[in-house]
Amino acid sequence: MSFLAAQSGARISTEEVRVRKFRVISSKPFDDVLKDLTATIGRPEMSGFLKAAGAARTREELESVVQRAIGASGLMEFLRLDAGAAVRTEGGPEGSRILRLLVGNPIIMSQMAKHVPDAAAYAPVTILVVEGSDGVRLSYDTMASLLSAYGSQEALKVAEDLDAKVEGLMTAAAS
């Protein structure tokens, strides 16, 4: 135990979690894959969404706010990060395209977090889209693998449903 932990009375632990990564490679152009991937994912104006979600007083009100924000997939985009821009500034290949999409659904997250509070650390989930010499690679660390160590069958069932939804989007986008 470190000196700091001993003084503060904190308990510190480290655990290894085995993660299952789902990958799909497409021969389609990057922009086409991205368009197909996001076609059914809602893209709400985030400050308005967060304000409305924060003002919700009941589960029904929150569900109504979320329902207006999600797309046909039942998911919404929280954030889009262009990691390729950073690679290019470091002298990477000019065509480096790496995009990280954070997608999810606050209701799905809450269904997992009520059984496993740590589920909130993994949601929204990341879908990584990378343009490479072998095609456009989509990858996703499955929620079920992240939550399996917690032993909650209730949370695991919700996570497996989320995984199926995300993997279906990825597979359809790559096809």
CA angle 160, 164, 165 (to 5 degrees): 120
Instruction: Tell me how far CA of residue 63 lies from CA of 7, 8, 35, 140, 143, in angstroms.
Output: 44, 41, 27, 26, 22
Instruction: State the pLDDT at residue 1.
Output: 45
Helix (H, G, I), strand (E, B) or coil at 6: helix
Q: Which CATH number characterizes residue 156's domain? A: 3.30.310.70
The structural domain count of the chain equals 1
Predicted TM-score (pTM) of this structure: 0.89
CA dihedral 60, 53, 72, 160 (to 10 degrees): -80
pLDDT in tens, the chain (175 residues): 455 555 677 888 888 889 999 999 999 999 999 999 999 999 999 999 999 999 999 999 999 999 999 999 999 999 999 988 877 777 666 567 999 999 999 999 999 999 999 999 999 999 999 998 889 999 999 999 999 999 999 999 999 999 999 999 999 999 9
Instruction: State the pLDDT at residue 27.
Output: 97
* Structural domain range at position 93: 18-41+74-174
Backbone angles phi, psi at 94, to 5 degrees: -55, -35
Helix (H, G, I), strand (E, B) or coil at 8: helix
- Region of residue 164 (left: phi > 0; alpha: psi -120 to 50; beta: else): alpha
Q: Measure the CA–CA gap between 101 and 99, rounded to whole angstroms.
A: 6
In a domain, 10, yes or no: no
